[in-house]
A and B are shown apart, each in its own frame.
Chain A
Amino acid sequence: MQKEILIVGLNHRSAPIEVRESVAFEASHLREALAQLRAYPAIQEGVILSTCNRVEVVAAAADGPSAAAEIKKFLDEQGARRNTGQLDDHVYAYQGADAVRHVFRVAASLDSMVVGEPQILGQLKDYYSAAQEAGSVGAILHRLFHRAFSVAKRVRTETGIASRAVSVSSVAVDLARRIFDRFDDKTVMLIGAGKMGGLMARHLQSNGARSLMVTNRTFERAVELAGSIHGSPILFEDFPRYLKIADLVIGCTGAQEVLIDAGAVGAILKERKHKPMFFIDIGDRRNFDSQINKLDNAYLYNIDDLQAVANENLQERSNEAEKAETIVLEEVENFTRWIHSLEQVPTIAALRQRFDEIGRKEMEKSLTGGLKGLSDEQREALENMTTAIINKMLHGPISQLKKNAQQEDDEGTLYVAALKRLFDLEGK
């Protein structure tokens, strides 16, 4: 009997974080959970995917609707251990081509909270191999996941979906990369102990920045923040003196006034022999003189500029996402064809079996009835004739089916369905 692909689960759109967390599977219990899943009678193959944004079960089953019901029950039980209420409102279920499309979209990061984020593919691969190790992956899910991985790769190379930074802090790092080749020989100065500034400093550190100065009007807070991000605290009064060794200056203060004016930067640049400086102004008010950007070798971006770039990139991403959707649809079609082509093999076998059966029964009937007393030679001739008739009659239909199987088009499916009905092959 033909297997169907289905996916049941919840994600960041369908369920709030508390519900997602209540159903989430811990990595240490995954093997166990997969065994429980497989224990359900209707489920033949299964993969569990559990990240902070989604908990989903992908399965292959002969009886789609009952398998879907079983997975819902499975998720309910998982949630019940943590005493959450009904999941029904949050759970979605897809079958057939819709399920395939969903899996492909997840792999290609089209279903992610931040479209195009790269982690999901790695997570998908991990959960797939866990399921494979647990022995709950068969031919269908094997093919499905490998197709999903290559769809993701295709989307990544053929569209610009993941090529642009979409958060303010990654945009800033991106811009810094266009000015500086490397960060490990650069010095970062962080003015103000605001949350965003700290975040950006960390982001720069993870990109290689090593030397970091932190200053704040309240020196204790500078010391505190410097301690948590491995920087050196400097007195607020002293920071202008240190500016000349800073390549990246991040301003994130609550100050109302301009802290660094263009004239001062001009003098500092001269002292630095015009080594470039990048000013990032992300405080509530403008702390850096906007004229700084007019100076040669000095670049100034404030929070609005960064946000504008981020928005533009996000817009670009959604444009690219449309291209990606087209790729996904194309691949779903290919996959569906493959699934249908699988149906033809068992149909051919069933058809032959059916004919052989009829031949055998009728022979027996005749040999025990009107043709009783035939010699062995005559019997053999009769058997040969019956087999020949069956073969001749089946030759046309079977070679047609085989041809369709190779072509993998819709016509093939139609013939299979027709043959099943005409010769009552269901359930064989």
Chain B
Amino acid sequence: MDVTFLKIAALFYLLAGVSFALYVFFQRDVVSKLSPLIVACGFAAHTAALGVHFFQTGYPNVTQFREALSFYSWVMVAGYLVVHFKYRLSVLGAIIAPLAFLMTLAAFAFGTGSEALPPELKSYWLPVHVTVAFLGNAAFALAFGVSLIYLLSERQLKHKKMTLLMKRFPSLETLDRLNYIFLVWGFPLMTLGIVSGSMWAAIHWGSYWSWDPRQISSGIAWLFYGALLHGRATGLRGRKAALLTTFGFCVVIGYFLWGEAIFPSRHGGRFD
């Protein structure tokens, strides 16, 4: 597998991360417009990396862990770019860019060998299932980002310690609203991911639900986010919502990174 484009993308994300840090921590206004553009460049390279692979093999490269990681960060960056151009939320990039860098770095650091697509994964379900599932996860990653900023900003307000850092943050109201929006987008996508996965499982494994570890973990995450969404609709907001969002994402990403190593699953994209 050719990883040149992926390396270029990682480089851009790193650059963007540095540039965002300059903007947030050192108050360099000049880079505020530049940083999202650098992210966009990284995204273009990243798209090229995924595109080249798709045209070479005819299927999206998401079947191995490192490929899934790269695809995940690609979707997340796409989500960030949409949010940035809609809400001008530059500071979110300070979390997303370094995250995207680490994920793409890991994607080629874990090896670059190409493996043939396992026959059981040769299906139209693959792109559908993977895309909706990762879109949902990307929305949760963005929700995690704004929640972190919310918690930081809220803490400073409560402790009455103003730092220049806060000048870069949007209001708590905006952050809370964005958190809710990401959740509202993320949850149905995650639901679709699970539904499409189950249907695919019904076709290939013969049963919609077979208590596979991946199914169980997604089920738990789905219940958690569902409860969170319900809570939000009935008045849960602010710090508690941000804390729960952060917690939920940490569990999901933690499972994504290490879960399959502990609980072997028939699910593709595992780390082996």
A29 at the interface (CB under 8 A from B): no
Name the contact of A299 in the complex, choosing from B158, B173, B240 (C-beta under 8 A).
Answer: B158
> How many Å from the CB of B240 to the closest CB on chain A?
6
Q: Known: A301-B160, A305-B160. Contact between A181 and B170, CB under 8 A?
A: yes
Interface segment out of the listed B4-12, B124-132, B230-238, B253-261: B230-238
Name the contact of B238 in the complex, choosing from A175, A177, A297, A305 (C-beta under 8 A).
Answer: A297
Question: 8 Å CB contacts to B: which residues of A239-294?
Answer: 270, 273-276, 293
Interchain CA distance A299-B169 in the complex, whole Å: 17
Interface of B is mostly: helix
> A312: which B residues are within 8 A, CB to CB?
162
> B177: which A residues are within 8 A, CB to CB?
181
A384 at the interface (CB under 8 A from B): no
* Residue ID in chain B nearest A186 by CB atoms: B173
Question: 8 Å CB contacts to A: which residues of B154-170?
Answer: 157-158, 160, 162, 164, 166-167, 169-170
> Contact at A273–B169, with CB atoms within 8 Å?
no
A178 at the interface (CB under 8 A from B): yes
* Residue ID in chain B nearest A293 by CB atoms: B158
> Contact at B172–A179, with CB atoms within 8 Å?
yes
> How many Å from the CB of B28 to the closest CB on chain A?
10
Interchain CA distance A182-B236 in the complex, whole Å: 21
> Contact at A157–B29, with CB atoms within 8 Å?
yes
* Residue ID in chain A nearest B29 by CB atoms: A157
Q: Contact residue range for chain B?
A: 20 to 34
> How many Å from the CB of B149 to the closest CB on chain A?
12
* Residue ID in chain A nearest B241 by CB atoms: A274
> Contact at A297–B239, with CB atoms within 8 Å?
yes
Q: Known: A160-B27, A276-B173. Contact between A178 and B236, CB under 8 A?
A: no
- A interface size (C-beta, 8 A): 25
> Contact at B27–A297, with CB atoms within 8 Å?
no
Q: Known: A163-B167, A178-B153, A296-B240. Contact between A276 and B160, CB under 8 A?
A: no
> Contact at B239–A276, with CB atoms within 8 Å?
no
A180 at the interface (CB under 8 A from B): yes
> A313: which B residues are within 8 A, CB to CB?
162
| Per-residue contact bits, chain B 108-132, to A (CB 8 Å; 1 contact, 0 not) | 0000000000000000000000000
> B171: which A residues are within 8 A, CB to CB?
177-181
Interchain CA distance A276-B237 in the complex, whole Å: 9
Interchain CA distance A177-B29 in the complex, whole Å: 20
Interchain CA distance A274-B236 in the complex, whole Å: 7
Number of A-B contacts (CB under 8 A): 54
B210 at the interface (CB under 8 A from A): no
Name the contact of B173 in the complex, choosing from A181, A273, A301, A305 (C-beta under 8 A).
Answer: A181
* Residue ID in chain B nearest A308 by CB atoms: B160
> How many Å from the CB of A361 to the closest CB on chain B?
62
> Contact at A179–B162, with CB atoms within 8 Å?
no
> B173: which A residues are within 8 A, CB to CB?
179-182, 276
A309 at the interface (CB under 8 A from B): yes
> How many Å from the CB of B140 to the closest CB on chain A?
22
Interchain CA distance A313-B162 in the complex, whole Å: 9
B207 at the interface (CB under 8 A from A): no
Q: Known: A177-B171, A178-B153, A181-B171. Contact between A274 and B237, CB under 8 A?
A: yes
> How many Å from the CB of B168 to the closest CB on chain A?
11
Q: Known: A180-B171, A296-B240. Contact between A175 and B29, CB under 8 A?
A: no
Interchain CA distance A276-B174 in the complex, whole Å: 12
Interchain CA distance A274-B169 in the complex, whole Å: 21
> Contact at B164–A160, with CB atoms within 8 Å?
yes
> How many Å from the CB of A172 to the closest CB on chain B?
12
> How many Å from the CB of A174 to the closest CB on chain B?
8
Interchain CA distance A308-B159 in the complex, whole Å: 12
> B236: which A residues are within 8 A, CB to CB?
274
> B162: which A residues are within 8 A, CB to CB?
309, 312-313
* Residue ID in chain A nearest B236 by CB atoms: A274
Most buried by A among B158, B173, B239: B173
> B29: which A residues are within 8 A, CB to CB?
157
Name the contact of A178 in the complex, choosing from B166, B234, B238 (C-beta under 8 A).
Answer: B166
> How many Å from the CB of A164 to the closest CB on chain B?
8
Most buried by B among A178, A276, A293, A309: A178
| Per-residue contact bits, chain B 16-59, to A (CB 8 Å; 1 contact, 0 not) | 00000000000101000000000000000000000000000000
> How many Å from the CB of A75 to the closest CB on chain B?
41
| Per-residue contact bits, chain A 149-166, to B (CB 8 Å; 1 contact, 0 not) | 000000001001001000
* A interface, CB within 8 angstroms of B: 157, 160, 163, 175, 177-182, 270, 273-276, 293, 296-297, 299, 301, 305, 308-309, 312-313
What are 13 A-to-B residue pairs whose CB atoms are below 8 Å? A163-B167, A181-B174, A273-B234, A273-B235, A274-B235, A274-B236, A296-B238, A296-B240, A297-B237, A299-B158, A305-B160, A308-B160, A313-B162
Beyond the given A160-B27, A178-B172, A179-B173, could you list 15 further A-B residue pairs with CB under 8 A, ordered by the A residue number?
A: A163-B164, A177-B171, A178-B153, A178-B157, A178-B171, A180-B172, A181-B173, A181-B177, A270-B235, A273-B234, A274-B237, A275-B237, A276-B172, A296-B238, A299-B158
* B interface, CB within 8 angstroms of A: 27, 29, 153, 157-158, 160, 162, 164, 166-167, 169-174, 177, 234-240
Q: Which 5 A-B pairs have the closest CB atoms?
A: A273-B235, A181-B173, A181-B171, A297-B238, A181-B174
